[in-house]
Chains A and B, each alone.
Chain A
Amino acid sequence: MTGMDPRLQAYLDGELQLEDLPVELRELAAGWDGLLDQFARSAPAGAPLGLDRRVMSGIRAERESTNRVPKWFAWAIRPRLIRVSPLAGLAVAAALMLAIVRPWSAGPTSLEEGSVAGQVYVQFLVEAGGAESVHLAGDFSEWQPTISLDDSDGDGIWSGRVPLEPGVHEYMFVIDGSEWVSDPNAAGSRDDGFGRRNSLLAVSSVSGT
């Protein structure tokens, strides 16, 4: 390791002024100033757009997965020693085998136009006359506004087709890269934790199952 003059270290710690240094160290000190300035300026000014939204989406998902397990179920799955007669055991096993869990689904709110590998193409439409750009962000894009909508005919109606997995999705439109707006035509919405509401879209598979 190469040692560094302690006076230079003291200068870089803010304990000495440049004029306190001997002349032979001043050029070196200026070199370090430039280097540290460059280093500080290379740091990002702030968090990327939408980071807060992605954090809250992750927290909400975690809360929902926790809430999905009711107390009685948590009690039921806790291992414990129980005594049961063979007949009652068989009855319980038969009941479990017959149980069918039917996933909840709602009707789609946007036009579906076919599917690829289990995904369904959904047409998103939003009116944003005068906008320079419109993007779509949702749980399907990790809340990154990376899906561009198109208004090539300039009528102010922006649209785009996006392949989505069946299920319930949350989304918003991002106007001109910064203004997050809900879909006024969405079938439903939920609080996004930021004073706005995420639009809800239920996508069912083409076969309707």
Chain B
Amino acid sequence: MRETEPRQRTDGELVRQALDGSEEAYAELVRRYQDLLYRHAERMAGSPDEAEDIVQLAFIKAYRNLATCQNPDHVGAWMYRITANACKDHLKSRRSDGVAIDDVPGLAGEDGDPERALEQLDLRSRIDSALRRLPVDQREAFVMKHVEGMSYQEMGELLGVSVPALKMRVHRAREDLQELLGEGTT
């Protein structure tokens, strides 16, 4: 007889168990959402090290305030909001600086062609550099739309911002990027 796989606990169950003192339950929530939150933070901060710090602090802050999560069944969205706010606070407090080539992820040996790798590196560096010059709200909306692939509706539910306002932010981000990147987008 085939063994029945254990049922995956819901977010709400994990939150309640964590509130009862189960570290293991909170660790499961961390594992469940760390990739999503890290991707967002990395694209916002432009640096893996800073992204990791932001996400760690966001998870710790969420743990401290877990009892205030109003909808435990959607704790992931709540954690996402905490991370998104942490990213914005981080960017506002940080002075503008450049991105190190070492910080541009996913390039080494991508297709084995050094010339193509260099072209990709150049383009990604330019994109990262241009993104850093966008206002934080525009960058956030652009990352959610084009990295995380969210619909405007999903973005609105997470950020508590209207769909038309988010559309405007993304449109302006594209226009600014078009101006900053120039060739190929005009």
Q: Which residues of A contact B (CB under 8 A)?
A: 1-4, 9, 12-13, 28, 31-32, 34-36, 38-48, 51-52, 54-56, 58-60, 62, 191, 193-195
- A13–B106 touching, CB < 8 Å: no
What are 27 A-B pairs with beta-carbon distances under 8 A?
A2-B178, A4-B175, A12-B174, A35-B185, A38-B127, A42-B105, A42-B128, A43-B43, A43-B105, A46-B38, A47-B52, A48-B48, A51-B52, A52-B34, A55-B30, A55-B34, A55-B56, A55-B59, A56-B30, A59-B63, A60-B23, A62-B60, A62-B64, A193-B24, A193-B27, A194-B24, A194-B27
- From residue A56, how far is it (CB to closest CB) to chain B in Å? 5
The residue on A at minimum CB distance from B104 is A42
Asked whether A44 and B56 contact (CB < 8 A) given A35-B127, A52-B30, the answer is no
- A1–B60 touching, CB < 8 Å: no
- B55–A3 touching, CB < 8 Å: no
Q: Which residues of B contact A (CB under 8 A)?
A: 23-24, 26-27, 30-31, 34-35, 37-39, 42-43, 48, 52, 55-56, 59-60, 63-64, 104-106, 120, 123-124, 127-128, 146-147, 149, 152, 167, 170-172, 174-176, 178-179, 181, 184-186
Distance in angstroms between the alpha carbons of A1 and B179 in the assembled complex: 7
A-chain residues with CB within 8 Å of residue B35 when the two chains form the complex:
45-47
- B38–A47 touching, CB < 8 Å: yes
- From residue B26, how far is it (CB to closest CB) to chain A in Å? 7
B-chain residues with CB within 8 Å of residue A45 when the two chains form the complex:
35, 106
- A1–B176 touching, CB < 8 Å: yes
- B146–A4 touching, CB < 8 Å: no
- B60–A59 touching, CB < 8 Å: yes
